[in-house]
Amino acid sequence: MINNMLDISVIVPLFNEAESLPELAAWIARVMDQGGWTYEILMVDDGSTDASWAVIKDLAKSNPSVRGISFRRNYGKSAALFCGFRQARGEVVFTMDADLQDSPDEIPDMYRMVKEEGWDVVSGWKQHRKDNAITKNLPSKLYNATARRVTGIKLHDMNCGLKAYRNEVVKSVEVYGEMHRYIPYLAKNAGFGRITEKPVHHSKRKFGKSKFGMERFVNGFLDLMSLSFLSTFGKKPMHFFGFSGLLMFIIGGIMAIWIIVAKLVHQAQGVRFRAVTDQPLFYLALVAVILGAMFFLAGLLGEMISRSAPERNKITIFVGCNNLNDD
């Protein structure tokens, strides 16, 4: 159990958002005071080059509930959330962007959904986006449709920054690289299957400009493929590489044998035939056999590495009893 547990933690990852921070902190504090909750605001400065850290220190002086974490350089949103999750003391943990596009007024309803309705994750759904329709809305729809198909989680806006989590969820997931887009999927793989969404208000950016370009959709798709593969075959690589390699090896072997047998039959019958090495199919068969062997060896090596991993039997248990021998 976490010492000094609070009702709510609000984690705000940020990069060069000095202008919006005072308004955001005041807005969050106003909502918390109205709800009568104990809370903390964790502002994670991801290596900002403006006055963001100085603003955070001033806010912490005027409001003891504000806590700050500062990175020496820009590590990315996933690293900021990872550190925030590890420090969070709230029973319900919220994440929101620092650009004032996410509304803290959504906190009470999302808090109720976690505490009273028993959801593990409540994801915001920016049903009516205020972004450019061509550069953000359309790519976002395509991206989310792909994410729903691959993950099996029916969320309309997987990448919405405004989310609410049960504390056990954020302590059980490891966010790295650019996997912050798929925290609901990470939560699902960790055993937290009660995931839902809530339509939330979305505002136009008030200060500065977006820190993410169009490349985030390409990177997001590649990360999704990686995450899907790792969640399926991460601890059993032989099931993928071994099966694929064995299949390619058998196909290549059958092709090579068929070419050789056909050549011998034609030769025995006195029919004109082509040399085995003059046939393109022979080289395709040879490539298939070599690739099959390489895939099989890759699966074997992956299996050996997986079995040697110190966390190969890491299992999180949430429910136990005093006498494990009880019927």
- Residue that finishes a domain, picked among 232, 258, 280: 232
Count the domains in the chain: 2
- Residue that finishes a domain, picked among 192, 209, 232: 232
Based on the domain organization, do 262 and 150 belong to the same domain?
A: no
Q: Is residue 318 part of a domain?
A: no
Q: For residue 87, what is the domain's CATH number?
A: 3.90.550.10
How many Å apart are CA 298 and CA 238, to the nearest integer?
A: 8
Based on the domain organization, do 226 and 245 belong to the same domain?
A: no
Are residues 120 and 194 in contact, defined by beta-carbon separation less than 8 angstroms?
Answer: yes
Q: So what's the pLDDT on residue 317?
A: 44
pLDDT in tens, 13-54: 999 999 999 999 999 999 999 999 999 999 999 999 999 999
Based on the domain organization, do 217 and 249 belong to the same domain?
A: no
Q: So what's the pLDDT on residue 141?
A: 76
Determine the residue type at 287. Answer: V
Q: So what's the pLDDT on residue 3?
A: 60
Which pLDDT band, with edges at 50, 70 and 90, does 196 fall under?
Answer: very high
The separation between CA 154 and the C-alpha centre of its own chain, rounded to angstroms, equals: 15
Based on the domain organization, do 262 and 200 belong to the same domain?
A: no
Are residues 291 and 247 in contact, defined by beta-carbon separation less than 8 angstroms?
Answer: no
Q: So what's the pLDDT on residue 230?
A: 64
pLDDT in tens, 213-261: 556 656 666 666 776 666 666 667 777 788 888 899 999 999 989 888 8
Least confident piece of the model among 3-17, 30-44, 177-191: 177-191
Are residues 245 and 298 in contact, defined by beta-carbon separation less than 8 angstroms?
Answer: yes
Q: Which residues contact 303 (CB under 8 A, 6 or more apart)?
A: 236, 237, 238, 242
Range of the domain at 100: 6-232
Q: Is residue 327 part of a domain?
A: no
Based on the domain organization, do 188 and 296 belong to the same domain?
A: no
**Mean per-residue pLDDT for 68-95?**
94
Q: So what's the pLDDT on residue 221?
A: 67
Based on the domain organization, do 14 and 74 belong to the same domain?
A: yes
Based on the domain organization, do 227 and 270 belong to the same domain?
A: no
- Residue that finishes a domain, picked among 211, 232, 253: 232
Helix (H) or strand (E) holding 80: helix 77-87
Q: Is residue 225 part of a domain?
A: yes
How many Å apart are CA 101 and CA 147, to the nearest integer?
A: 23
Which pLDDT band, with edges at 50, 70 and 90, does 324 fall under?
Answer: very low
Residue 320 has pLDDT above 60, yes or no: no
Based on the domain organization, do 257 and 196 belong to the same domain?
A: no
Q: Strand runs (DSSP E) across 192-302, as ranges? A: 195-199
The separation between CA 162 and the C-alpha centre of its own chain, rounded to angstroms, equals: 15
| Structure-token pair, residue 237 | 């690589």
More confident: 208 or 38: 38
Which pLDDT band, with edges at 50, 70 and 90, does 323 fall under?
Answer: very low
pLDDT in tens, 123-169: 999 877 666 555 566 667 777 787 788 788 888 888 888 999 999 99
Percent of the chain with pLDDT over 90: 47
